[in-house]
Amino acid sequence: MAIRRLHREYQDLLENPVYSCRAWPLPDKGMLEWKGVVTGPADTPYAGGTFELLMHFSVEYPFKPPKVVFVTRIFHPNISSTGGICMDILKDNWSPALTISKLLLSVCSLLADPNPSDPLVPDIARMLLEDPERFEAEARAFTARHAMERLLGNEPSAVSDDQYSETDP
């Protein structure tokens, strides 16, 4: 079921791209391993940055959320130095009705509107609350250092039916 659902979602992403976000399965890893790319939202300290994500889907998807991590380092109160993301839909608020498109939009929303009341990095959350100008300067500098002019590799234009079978692990 997971493979079939992921294949449908990939086709939907190709036909209805999400603004400033892309995701695709890694051909050498099967349909359960995906790469995502999120462009930093305008008017945020992440603007101009390109942030790479890795997404791992279990065979229980869509009934279990994917594991999603940032590969690109980012200065954000809800994203750890190891790329872990504190976002409710990746935990208790996951629903099988959610899709990769909605997940990508939620990541973009988290970049545009950090949640300092539920941080993974308390020091960054405190800076955001107590000294927002310093937070913005630090986040911009971090974005310039880690998320600009990165070579992300070429994404495939399509996934053929014979490339991934329903029996993939």
pTM of the model: 0.86
pLDDT at 29: 87
Is 108 annotated as catalytic?
no
Q: How far apart are CA 168 and CA 61, in angstroms?
A: 13
The active-site residue out of 14, 47, 86, 120 is 86
pLDDT at 1: 86
Please answer whether residues 48 and 123 qualify as being in contact, where contact means their C-beta atoms are separated by less than 8 angstroms: no
| Residue 45: C-alpha distances to residues 16, 24, 61, 133 (Å) | 27, 26, 33, 10
Low-confidence ranges of the chain (pLDDT < 50): 151-152, 154, 157-169
Every domain of the chain and the residues it spans: 2-146
pLDDT at 162: 44
2-146, CATH topology level: Ubiquitin Conjugating Enzyme (3.10.110)
pLDDT single digits (tens) 143-157: 999 999 654 454 554
Q: What is the dihedral of CA 137, 138, 140, 142, to 10 degrees?
A: 160
